[in-house]
Amino acid sequence: MELLVPLILIGVGFFVGRHFEAKHYASIRDREKKTLHVPMMNFGAKQDLPYAHDAQLFVGSVVVANDYFKTISAGLRNLVGGRVVVYESLVDRGRREALLRMKEEAIEWGASQIVNVRFETSSIGGKSRDQGLSAVEIMAYGTAIR
Amino acid sequence: MSNLTLTTLEGVPGREIVEHYGLVQGSTIRAKHVGKDILAGFKNIVGGELKGYTELLQESRKESIERMVMQAEQLGANAVVNIRFATSSIAPGAAELFAYGTAVRVK
């Protein structure tokens, strides 16, 4: 019985989590295609500023949690070390989602280009063992010009 | 929201910087909400976005930008360039969001 509950949680985490992830990735790919017409680029300090009438800061942010299966498998991975593949997709999802949110907001404003995009990532929770919450918050920000 | 121009660039496109006022900054420290935390615990079983936390992050981001803008206005700037954000966790359950940039006057 004591073993059963974690096993059920792992099962639920694996199947439901995978389903949600697949759905999320489908939506990300779809929206990325739709927003492809607005280029994003980073400039160096020695380059001239792009010509524009108007510039404004846009930020997109998201907090994503990992599922129970991922938490357990990452915990097992910790024993032997190496690449933690289950977390890679989590962070990738978060970054792309944050970037898309920024881009969509900028497009609504009428952006022709987004320049100097930066990311900021940090983990929240998971500090104490009993809480066990682990999530990453990701912000993407850049200057939209038109 | 005020009418200051905020950018992550070295300047404001199409404008010229006539005066620098130096670094301005704004920060907020936020703690997790107990009710939200319980929901987040459930969400940790199936994974996915924590909407409550995203809202919290957005609120505190707005707050820290506002504080930075207030400082810039006091200096007499009409734009803040080279804006960056930084986050750090102060203690379990509390996180800081920090925005900084250079206050300038453009024409």
CA distance B4 to B6: 6
**Given an 8 Å threshold on Cβ–Cβ distance, is A115 in contact with B37?**
no
Q: What's the rounded mean pLDDT across residues B71-97?
A: 88
Nearest by CB to residue B8, choosing from A57, A62, A64, is A57
Mean pLDDT of A16-45: 90
Q: Is B35 an interface residue toward A (CB < 8 Å)? A: no
- Angstrom CA distances, B92 to A52, A101, A132, B96, B99, stand at 44, 28, 12, 11, 21
What is the CATH topology of the domain spanning B5-106?
Answer: Translation Initiation Factor IF3 (3.30.110)
What number is the average pLDDT over the span A14-35?
91
Q: Which CATH class is domain A4-145?
A: alpha beta
**A95-104 residue pLDDT tens:** 999 999 999 9
B25 and B98 Cβ atoms separated by less than 8 Å = yes
B93 touches chain A (CB under 8 A): yes
Q: Is beta strand B5-6 parallel, antiparallel or unpaired with respect to B79-91?
A: parallel
C-beta atoms of B49 and A139 within 8 A: no
Least confident residue range of A118-122, B51-55, B74-78: B51-55
> Tell me, what DSSP letter sits at residue B22?
E
3-state secondary structure of B88: strand
Q: Say if residue A89's pLDDT is above 50.
A: yes
B 62-91 residues with CB < 8 A to A: 65, 83-89
Q: What's the pLDDT score for residue B37? A: 67
Question: For residue A130, is pLDDT > 50?
Answer: no
Q: What is the mean pLDDT of residues A43-56?
A: 82
**Which of A16, A52, A56 minimises the CB distance to B46?**
A16
Among B2-6, B44-48, B81-85, the range of highest mean pLDDT: B81-85
Please say if the pLDDT value at position A5 is more than 80.
yes
pLDDT interval class at A125 (50, 70, 90) = low
**What's the distance, CA B100 to chain centroid?**
8
Measured at the CA of B50, the angle between CA B44 and CA B55, to 5 degrees, comes to: 155
Judged by a CB distance cut-off of 8 A, whether residue A42 touches chain B is: no
- Which pLDDT does position A28 carry in this prediction? 94
Most B CBs within 10 Å, among A21, A43, A62, A63, to test the B interface? A63
Looking at residue A97, its pLDDT comes to 95
Going by pLDDT thresholds of 50, 70 and 90, the confidence category of residue B2 is low
